Structure 1
Amino acid sequence: MSRRGNGEGSLKHDVKNRRWIWCGKFDDSDKKKYFTAKTKKAVLAKVDEYKASMDRRNNFNNMTLCEWSEIWLAAVEGTVKPKTYEYYYKFFCNYINDAMGNKLLGDIKSLDIQYFLKNLATKPALKGKPLSPATVNGVRRTINACLNYAVDNDIIRSNPAKSTKPIRNTKRQEITVLSKEQLMMLLDVAAQKDYIHITGAQYKEDIGQAYLRCCYYFALVLEAASGLRIGELFALTWSDLDLDAQVVHVKQTMVWGSADVKFVSPKTLRSKRDIDIDDCTVQKLKKWQIWQKQYAAQFESLFLNCDGLVFTNSFGKPINYTNFYQRYWRKLLLAAELPEGFTFHALRHTHASLLLMAGENIKVVSERLGHSSVSTTYNIYCHVVPNLQKHAAQKYKDLNILGDREIDVLFDS
């Protein structure tokens, strides 16, 4: 009888389960790999599959992390949201490739990745200071996703990034919000064109610039009334606004990539939501709708709002965030004398905080913001909650449940 080949298998008795099974073996360079199955054919199939996976790994033995990242990025493009892809691409270009890009895939250890993450969090980076824990952990998630894909495709045995620990954020990040008076001041300043001259430069406003200034004013009005994310705000179409019912239907968000803009589904399932707005805001939006139509009619050949967007640039195209921040938002912050560190996203925090301090139910606020859970809302705005407890106690007092009743005397004095 001829000698059996490597992995061909042999019939053995499984004493514990009282059955006969086929056992096969493959001699790997590192260790012996054993397989079992009910039939010889099934054992050989498992051995062949393992051989094929080893061949794939051997073919990629000399591939670096940088080379593999290019394959991975090309594979995941279109399967993740554009913003997620941009983050992946940015993290590899700005941080990962410089420090670890030349390492061979099979040589990367968990300790290498952990030291790399620690350096990002403690040593100066691109802007001259260490990265924030949130950014470092974003880099970690990117490496983890990239190496997971390598494991799934039998390029490496295991993912060393899984054994690393995220960077702890020991510093509590305080959010900056406006008071009612500060918000009113912001909107008052935005309604005037004087803030454009804040730098002292000579400035003569043409009709296109006047359109943009008015557009951003009405965008701020809606933002203050709804707490939308900036991408959700600038992705709104007129069909998303039911002005008669006073409801905003959030259906999509706008994401700027390196070259173009895309409209994608919102951040989470609960981000698709309906937000009621007040009648004063509705009247402002109706006025803006009329103004935009008049502007479009005046520049019919130049103003092409093909998407029917509520807020556009002077040619009817989607708002470019960079232009908005640099040419209008920064000047507006200076003119309105807003607190240092105040961002456009902080208007969303302001909307939520003002509602909570006014006594609105936190679940309602959570639904307006499109948070995945009420606990998310609570964790962000817990600094407001103590005031709500006092507000609740005052509300109970106002109910006057006890009235002027006095208990009968139980004991003689």
Structure 2
Amino acid sequence: MVRRAKGEGSIRYDNRHDRYIWRLKFLGEDGLKHEKYLTAKTKKGLQEKIKEYQSKKEINISDIKLFEWSRNWLIVIKPTIKISTYDYYDMFLRNYINPNLGEKKVKDLTPIMLQEFFNQMVGEIGKKGRPLSATTINGMRRTLKTCLEYAVKNGVIRMNPAATTKPLKKADKKVIALSKKQVIALLSTASKADYIYTDVKQDFIEDEGKKYLRKCYYYAIALDIATGLRIGELFGLTWDDVDFDKFNIMVRRNLQHRSNGRELGTLKTIRSQRLIQIDEKTINLLKEWREYQNRYAKQYHSIFDNDINLVFTNSWGKMYNHTNFYRRYWRKLVKAAGLPEGFNFHGLRHTHATLLLLAGENIKAVSERLGHSSVSTTLNIYYNLVPNLQKHAADTFAKLDLL
């Protein structure tokens, strides 16, 4: 077989039919893969047909622009990937990559051009009004790398120009965890309606639906402090996951906010699926919440429909709304409880881990509760927050009274 350069097709001789065959693979405007065949008795005759075909410019994938290629690429891969992955790629292409590089021809992209683009994005203000982080910019790089790799496989370009670029170094992420005193203040504030009035300029009337939501979030916060669940895992719990007799919770799915709506999805890794033991007081809190939810559901059965048996729902019995929670409840709660500015819900997970480690809990047990892939992950995140781990080890050895 005689092969030509990428994007020019390939020529082979067919012994059975005594003729030369030229084949070209390409991606059509419909986003699907296509093939074009030409045949001739002689190689010269075939080359003339190829030249005529190319001169007519029936297809010219070599001049395709990045925004055209990426649009078709998304169409092709959408049925084959998770909607969360599709949203991830689409967000970076729509918001950052195509507005800056979309008019460039795919064949003209170079590693230096792409590296300069990534470097220049440092400090730029993103769609959320904050400077872009290294994590976000590396997400652009990952998207481009995957998109252009598909161009290589389809013969549009010979090499992937994004493959040899370097990811940006991530800054050390500051982990904020609450002290025991701050946890008590948070729970105390969350248990009362007063914090809802924080920064409210008009009269606020708490009806039964709003009261349900406030109570729901109080019990959710309390459970998260006791378990260290990720927010998606917490709001993805169903009552079937709670074993009141054995005092444990099975974490098996998470709530995901996607372009097609909210859904219960699978966890990121097998290690993330885990059984978490909880104490009696936490079990009693869950019993209190279940009783309240059942009374509410009975009273408002015509509008409350918790058809998937979620532990924490909105006032209609459906999956909680992330935006509503943060704007109307969480931010006010943080301010009213006097917590550090910018403290987010994920900080409750850090708080759970840190308080356990400070109390001398084995780091492997903490790692298993959090669903980390390894103990080293837990150590890397929390070691600096727990400066007395070495002292605890020394005290433990002293108690052995060996010397």
- Asked whether the two chains share a fold, i.e. TM above 0.5, the reply is yes
SS in 2 for 1:381: helix
Aligned to 2:193: 193
RMSD: 2.7
> Partner amino acid for 2:24?
A
* Aligned counterpart, 2:166: 165
Distance across 1 between alignment mates of 2:9 and 2:188: 76
Q: Which moved further from structure 2: 116-125 or 271-280? A: 116-125
Structure 1 residue 80 displacement after superposition: 3.1
Q: Matches of 1:339 and 1:191 in 2, distance apart?
A: 19
Partners of 1:226 and 1:28 in 2: CA distance: 58
CA drift of 1:182 comes to 0.5
The amino acid that maps onto 1:371 is H
Distance in 2 of aligned mates of 1:363 and 1:174: 22
Deviations 1:28-68 (A, max 9, x none): 59999999xxx9969x99x968x434878964223211111
**Which runs of no fewer than 5 residues in structure 2 stay unpaired?**
27-34, 37-53
After the TM superposition, which of the residue ranges 60-69 and 227-236 deviates more from structure 2?
60-69
Secondary structure class of the residue paired with 2:163: helix
Q: In structure 1, what is the equivalent of residue 264 of structure 2?
A: 263
Structure 2 counterparts to residues 12-411 of structure 1, below 5 A: 24-26=1-3, 28=5, 51-53=23-25, 59-126=60-127, 130-169=131-170, 171-201=171-201, 202-402=203-403
User: Partner letter of residue 165 of structure 2?
Assistant: T
1:183 CA displacement: 0.8
Cα distance in 1 for residues equivalent to 2:79 and 2:339: 40
Count of aligned pairs: 372
Q: Tell me, yes or no, if the aligned pair for 2:115 and 2:165 is still in contact at 8 Å.
A: yes
Partner of 1:19: none
Moved more, 171-180 or 187-196: 171-180
Amino acid at match of 1:83: S
Alpha carbons of structure 1 residues 27 and 134: separation in structure 2 relative to 1, 3 Å: closer
Give me the whole-angstrom Cα distance separating, in 2, the residues matched to 1:34 and 1:74.
30
What amino acid is the match of 2:155?
Answer: D
Change (3 A) 1:163 1:381: same
- In the alignment, residue 351 of structure 2 is paired with which amino acid? T
Partner amino acid, structure 1, of 2:92: F
CA contact (8 A) 2:220 2:234 kept: yes
Change (3 A) 1:129 1:179: closer
**TM-score (structure 2 length as normaliser):** 0.85
Deviates more, 1:206-215 or 1:98-107: 98-107
The 3 A distance-change label for structure 1 pair 237 and 91 is: same
Q: Whole-Å Cα distance in 1 between the matches of residues 64 and 283 of structure 2? A: 59
- Structure 2 letter corresponding to 1:240: D
Describe the SS at the equivalent of 2:63.
coil
Tell me the TM-score normalized by structure 1: 0.84
Q: 2:268 & 2:127 partners in 1: Cα distance?
A: 28
Alignment check: 8 A CA contact 1:356 1:384 kept: no
Percent same amino acid at aligned positions?
47
Q: Which residue of 2 aligns with 1:5?
A: none
Paired amino acid for 1:210: K
Deviation at 1:187, TM superposition (A): 0.7
1:258: Cα distance to partner? Answer: 2.9
Q: Which one is further off, 211-220 or 194-203?
A: 194-203
- Deviates further, 177-186 or 75-84: 75-84
